[in-house]
Amino acid sequence: MKKIILSIMMILAIGLTSLSFAQERVEKKTVKVKKTSTLGQKVHNTFHKHKKYNGYKVKTKVRK
């Protein structure tokens, strides 16, 4: 009788832990793009072979 009760309790415990791991939160991503190039950087990009400054700053936030 004790073995049956213990086995039922183990099955319930495993079931409850698996349910808690199955529920995940939905994550929301927000992306902000900001132009950050200055006049000197724009001049550098037009006259040089290697384009060093792209002029954008991207921030990504993830909300839980």
Residue 20's pLDDT band (cuts 50, 70, 90): low
Phi, psi of 55 (to 5 degrees): 85, 15
pLDDT surpassing 80 at residue 44: yes
Closest among 5, 8, 54 to 33, alpha carbons compared = 54
Per the structure block, which two tokens stand in for 39? 């006049």
Helices (H) and strands (E) in the chain, counts: 2, 2
According to the model, what pLDDT value does residue 24 have?
Answer: 61
pLDDT surpassing 70 at residue 22: no
